[in-house]
Amino acid sequence: MTQFLSLLLNGVSLGAIYALIALGFVIIFKASEVVSFTQGSLLLLGAYTMARLSGPIGFLPAVLVGILVTALAAFLIERLVINRLRGAPVISLAIVTIGVDIILLTELIRRIGPDILNVPHPWGGESVRIGGVGISQNRLIAMVVAGLLIVVFFVLFKYSSWGVAMRASAEDGETAALMGIRQGRVSAVAWIVAGALAAVAALFLVGAPTPGVSAAAYTVALRAFPAAILGGLDSTGGALVGGLLIGLAESFAAGYQEHLLFLGRGFGEVVPYVVMIAVLLVRPSGLFGTKELTRV
């Protein structure tokens, strides 16, 4: 039972991190109809910046700079590439983000090399026990911060003028444009927010129990794709549920590995994809995605 609770708690905290990434993914899709394959390398960029700068300028400034740099990178991608392709088919847009991702990722991997960079979290790698259930401090803080950020995000999304503008243009871009909503700006802000969210996720993703910043962090970040798809690409709430589901599934599959040995070692790493495919079989637009209607 203790193991179950522990896995549950760890799964939720991992899921909260996935949810942050998936949320960025979803708002980019809502604002600019782009499925951004750049989230993984943006996340790695954030982690790399934090790891490299926290020596010279200290932890907190490094985190802030990391978030800024990642948001800026996302903004530049939007301005320089995506914005020029307004109206292009979804597939071309997705492919172009893959191209950007290759360049950014190659550069980061070349810089990181075979090393594992360390982000010196002040809370270190210790774990705390809550009534017999152990969880690393990093994951606990991640859960709290991610929860706060998600609440803030949803409040802004609902009430701020940016949120209203974004929901309007996601609903019907043309009408929103006619009402004076600047599509370009909405999309740029969405990318900035997504970049910042990815950087925050990066901060916690590279902390305990993960060893540090290495090329493997990219693979971990990729598992946020199933989270976003699972919940439905155009549903922010879905991203949340999807993130939690994926986090839980991964945590349980890794925790009960001995019982799942017939599926091979390291099954936890692929379980997000298995869950995703299973869900898509039943609901092709994800759990909460808008069902595509065809009107003739």
Binding site for another protein (CB under 8 A): 35, 81, 84-85, 88-92, 94-96, 98-103, 106-107, 109-110, 172, 222, 225-226, 228-229, 233, 263-267, 269-270, 272-274, 276-277, 280-281, 284-286, 292-296
Distance CA 279, CA 143 (A): 25
Minimum CB–partner distance for residue 124 and another protein (Å): 32
> What element of type H or E holds 136?
strand 133-136
What's the closest the beta carbon of residue 276 comes to another protein, in angstroms? 5
Element (H, E) at 176: helix 173-178
**Is 200:149 a contact under the CB 8 Å cutoff?**
yes
Please, which residue, 16 or 34, has the CB nearer to another protein?
34
Nearer to another protein, 72 or 88 (CB): 88
Minimum distance between the CB of residue 109 and another protein, rounded to whole angstroms? 8
Shorter beta-carbon distance to another protein: residue 84 or 158: 84
15 vs 66, which CB is nearer to another protein? 15
For residues 234 and 29, is the Cβ–Cβ distance under 8 A?
Answer: yes
Main-chain dihedrals φ then ψ at residue 212, nearest 5 degrees? 160, -165
If the CB atoms of residues 57 and 103 are measured against another protein, the closer one turns out to be 103
In angstroms, the Cα distances linking 142 to 8, 34, 186 are 15, 28, 28
Q: How far is the CB of 20 from another protein (least distance, A)?
A: 18
Report, in Å, the least distance between residue 280 CB and another protein: 5
Position 277: which residue type?
I
The pair of structure tokens assigned to 182 is: 């600047």
